[in-house]
Structures are given as structure tokens and as C-alpha cells.
Structure 1
Amino acid sequence: MQRQIIDTIEQFHTIIIHRHVRPDPDAYGSQFGLKQLLQHNYPNKNIYAVGTHEESLSFMAKPDVIADALYEDALVIVTDTANTERVDDQRYRKGAKLIKIDHHPNDDVYGDLVWVDTTASSVSEMIFDLFEVGQQTKQWQLPHHAAALLYAGIVGDTGRFRYPSATLKTFTTAGKLITYDFDREKIYNGMYELECNILHLQGYMYQNFIMDEHGAGRVDLTKAVLQQFNATPSEASLLVSSLGDVKDMKAWVIFIEEEDNIRVRLRSKGPVINTLAKQFGGGGHPLASGASVYTFEEADEVYRQLQVLCHK
């Protein structure tokens, strides 16, 4: 599949890369890492990366703003996005050809070419695989900035290599990436340093979470709480892994109230939770998933079902 993707890339003069809404480091890492990789090896092509910018990821990159006309006769590549509803910038449909590169379960099969590898720790890891095939067949080179972006994406989706998704291949890939000239400390600082108000919000979470006798945890971050700490929903989402530090916690959910809905952030140390997320219109990985609900009564039902999963 990698060779098919490379052959397709070579056929197009304009390439537009999309990723999912509410991006995380792997979304940016795979999207912008691919952009930098292709720009370096095809300097005469027009290559763009689009979507709503996430301010907390400014240390990685910033998206391009492009006109609709550029989609005519363009190749569109969507990275790290399981289903079409979550593609950031629905103009992705306007291109001449569509490629999906993802590591989530392939429940929504879209695209003319589909490369899904659920064994990959991240799509950033997959982009490095693509580079290595291009290196062997087309003498591709990986610029240092692209290596930094891919490394950040892998670090983000593996929780600094703590999650089970970090395989021997993941560590091997990371080992190759760190041979490139980039500042790892700068990446870690950009990803994990927090403003004081967000750390205070984290303290609120530790003081106010609940956990039942079976290890199912929950914390509610309402609009009032976010306002109290001058935090945005996106900033609150940076704290989703915090409850994983709690002893005997099996799985947990953080409800983050937004203007029109309640964001559901699910994490687990064992019970499979993406099936629960799918019941509420979301999805994700077996141990890291998300969804949206519209009332706290629905949120209560999510938590009840999470308790059932932890009780099994």
C-alpha cells in the first residue's frame, strides 16, 4: 500500500492534507510531518496542510489557509481520522482523489486508497514507514523538522511510550528519529508544560474526582468550573490522562462542558472502552476514546456503562 500511495503522490501537482477536528500531537505530527516530507522531496509540488488551528500545538506548526479552487485536480490525504464526520474541513471531499491513512479501527471505510494499520502506535509512526519505503524506492530524504514532528506525534499517542500501543517497532522508529537533529527537550516542553491556571484545574480534578469500588472514575468539568480556572475545553482536554495516576483506577471519564455539548473523554488501563464511545456517536482506540453527549443525564448513563465495564 505504501508504494501505491507514493505512486499516487507522484501523479499530482497539488496535495492537500487534512486531519481530525480537535487535533492532538499525532494529528499534527502526521499531517505536518507528511507535508514537510513531501515538500522536501517534491519541491515543485504545491502541498498544503489545512484545518482549524489548535493554539496549544503552535510549537509544532500552523495550518495553511487555502481557497476552494485549489481542490480542483488535487490529491487529498486524510491522516489520523477514523470517520468522515471528524475530518477537519469538509472540503476534503472536493479533491480529485482521496487517500486515508489511519491507525483506528476501520469502521468508516472512505477514500480511493485506504491504508489502515491498527497495530501502529500512531499515524506518525506510519508516516515514518512511508518515508522508509520512499527512501528505498525513490531516494526520499527526511528533513530534520519532519523527524521532530513525527517524533512528537509518537510521543503524544503513546503517552511518552507508557501505553501498550508502544511496541518494539515503535521504539525502533523512535530510535531512528532521534538520530536527526532536533531538540527533544523543546518538544517535551511544548507538549507537557502547563500554565499555572491549568495546573490549578488539575488540582481541582484530583480533589473532585469520584471512583467506585470497581475502579471506574469520573470528574465533571462544567462551564462554571472552566470559567473559575479561566480554562478552555481544549486546555482541559490536556489533562485527560491525569486520573491514570490514581491507584486501582481501571478506567475513567472526564466530562468537559462546551457551549453546545459535553465532550466525553474516556481512558482505560484495561477494559475496552471504544465500544462504549461508539454507542454515543464517538470512537477511538480500545484504551483511549471520545464522544459527545448533550446533557448531564446522558453523561450519567455513560458513567453507568463504564462502571459495568469495570465490574466485569
Structure 2
Amino acid sequence: MNSQIIDTIKKYETIIIHRHVRPDPDAYGSQLGLKYILQHNYPEKTILAAGEHDSTMEFLGTQDQVADEDYNGSLVIVTDTANTERIDDQRYLKGDKIIKIDHHPNDDAYGDLLLVDTSASSSSELIYELFEAGQVQENWKLPATAARQLYAGIIGDTGRFLFPSTTQKTFRIAGELIKSDFDRNELHNGMYEMERKLLHLQGYMYQNFKMDENGAAYVKITLDILKEFEVTATETSLLVSSLGNVKGMKAWVIFIEEEEEIRVRLRSKGPVINELAKEFNGGGHPMASGATAYSWEEADRVIDRLKEICANAE
């Protein structure tokens, strides 16, 4: 499949790369990493990154202003996005051909060409493998700007290599990426340093989460709490893994209230939770998923289901 994708890339003068809404480092890393690889190796082509910029990802970069006419006769590549509803900027449909590159379960097999590998730690890992194929097939070179993005995507989706998705291949690729000339310390600071207000909210979460006897836990962050701590719903993405440090916890959900919906962020140390996410307008990985609730009553149903899952887990 990598060879087919490379052959397809060669045929198009304009390539527009999309990723998912509410982006994380792997969404940015795979999208911008691919952009910089293609720009470096095909300077005559127009390579654009689409989507709404997320201020929490400022340390990685920004997207381009993409005009409607840019899609005429273009190749669209969507990275790190399992289903079409989560693609940021639905104009992706206006392109001539669509390629999907992703490591989530392929429940929505959209696109003309699909590179989906659920054994990969991240979509950034898949982009690096595409680069390796291009290195052999077309003598591609890897610019340091791309290496930085892909490394960020990998450490983001592996929790700094702590998650079970980390494999020997992941370490090999990370080892290749750090040969490039970029400041890892600066990158780590951008990813993991938090403002004081976020640390205060983290303290609130530690004080107020609830956990049952089977290790199912939850915490509710209402609009009033966000206002009290002067934190936006988007900024709370940096706190999703916080409760994972609690001994005895099997899985947890963090609810973030917005004006019209409640974000549901699910994480697990063992029990599979992505099927639960699908029940509530979401999806994702077996151990890390997201969903949406439209009332606190619906949020309570998520909690009840999570408790069932943890109670039945070995």
C-alpha cells in the first residue's frame, strides 16, 4: 500500500492533508509531518494542511488557509481519523481522490486508498514507514521539521512510551527520528508543561473524583468549574491521563461540560472502552477513546456502563 500511495502522490500537483477535530499531538504530528516530508521532496507541488488551529498545539505549528478552489483536482490525505464525522473540515470531499492513513479500528472504511494498521502505536509511526518506503522508492529525504512532528506524535500517543501500544518497532522509529536536528527538550516542554491554572484544576480533579470497588472512576467538570479555574474545555485535554496514577483504578472517564454538549474522555489500564465510546457518539482506541453526551443524565449512563465493564473485567 505504501508504494501505491507514493505513486498516487507523484501524480498530483496539489495535496491537501486533513486530520481530526479536537486534535492531539498525533493528529498534528502525522498531518504536519507528512506535509513537511512532501514539501521537502516535491518543492514544485502545493502541499496544504487543512483544519481549525488548536491553541494547545501551538508548540507544533499551525494549519494553512485552504481555499475552496484548492480542492479542484487535488489529492486529499486524511491522517489519524477513524470516521468521516471527525474529519476537521468537511471540504475533504471536494478533492479528486482520498487516502486514509490511520491506526484506529477501521469501522468506517472511507477513501479510495486505505493504509490502516491498528498494531501501530500512532499515525505518526505509519507516516514514518511511508517515508521509509519513499526513501527506497523515490530517494526521499527526511527534514528535521518533519522528524520533530512525527516524534511528537509518537510520544503523545504512547504516553512517552508507557502505553501497551509501544512496540519494538516504535522504539526503532523513535531512535531514527532523534538522529535529526531538533530540540527534544524544547518539544517536551511544549507538550507537558502546564500553566498554574491547569495544575489547580488538576488538584480539584484529584480531590473530587469518584471510584467504585471495581476500579471504575469518574470526575465531572462543569461550566462553573471551568469558569472558576479560568480554563477552557480545550485546555483540559492536557489533564486526561492524570487519574491514571491512582492505585487500583482500572478505567476512568472525565466529563467536560460545554455550552451545547458534554465531552466524554475515556481512558483505561486494561478493560476495553472503545465499544462504550461508540454507544455514546464516539470511538477510538481500546484503551483511549472519546465520546459525547448531551445531558448529565446521559453522562450518568456512561458511568453506569463503565462500572459494568470494570466489574466484568478480569
Alignment correspondent of 1:152: 152
Deviations 1:58-92 (A, max 9, x none): 11110001210010000000000000000000000
How far, CA to CA, are the matches of 2:281 and 2:210 in structure 1? 25
Alignment of 1:30-179 (within 5 A): 30-179=30-179
Deviations 1:150-172 (A, max 9, x none): 00000000000000000110011
Alignment correspondent of 1:224: 224
How far, CA to CA, are the matches of 2:70 and 2:289 in structure 1? 34
Superposition CA RMSD, Å = 0.4
SS at match of 1:44: coil
Alignment correspondent of 2:188: 188
Deviations 1:198-251 (A, max 9, x none): 010000000000100000000000000000000000111210000000000000
* Matched letter for residue 62 of structure 2: K
How far, CA to CA, are the matches of 1:69 and 1:145 in structure 2? 28
How far, CA to CA, are the matches of 1:44 and 1:288 in structure 2? 39
How far, CA to CA, are the matches of 2:67 and 2:149 in structure 1? 26
SS at match of 1:40: helix
How far, CA to CA, are the matches of 1:60 and 1:270 in structure 2? 30
SS at match of 1:233: coil
Alignment correspondent of 2:271: 271
Deviations 1:15-50 (A, max 9, x none): 000000000000000000000000000000000001
How far, CA to CA, are the matches of 1:58 and 1:241 in structure 2? 20
Residue ranges of structure 2 left out of the alignment (5+ in a row) = none
Alignment correspondent of 2:22: 22
SS at match of 1:17: strand
State the 4+ residue runs in structure 1 displaced beyond 2 angstroms.
none
* Matched letter for residue 132 of structure 2: E
Paired-residue identity, %: 66
Alignment correspondent of 2:301: 301
Alignment correspondent of 1:288: 288
Deviations 1:262-305 (A, max 9, x none): 00000000000000000111000000001001000000000000
* Matched letter for residue 28 of structure 1: Y
SS at match of 1:162: coil
Q: Does 1:234 align with 2:234?
A: yes
Alignment correspondent of 1:197: 197
Cα displacement (A) at 1:125: 0.4
* Matched letter for residue 145 of structure 1: T
Query: Aligned residues, how many?
Result: 312
Cα displacement (A) at 1:175: 0.6
* Matched letter for residue 269 of structure 1: K
Cα displacement (A) at 1:308: 0.5
How far, CA to CA, are the matches of 1:126 and 1:149 in structure 2? 13
Alignment correspondent of 1:11: 11
How far, CA to CA, are the matches of 1:34 and 1:259 in structure 2? 34
* Matched letter for residue 281 of structure 2: G
* Matched letter for residue 48 of structure 2: Y
SS at match of 1:252: strand
Alignment correspondent of 1:256: 256
* Matched letter for residue 149 of structure 1: Q
How far, CA to CA, are the matches of 1:51 and 1:299 in structure 2? 29
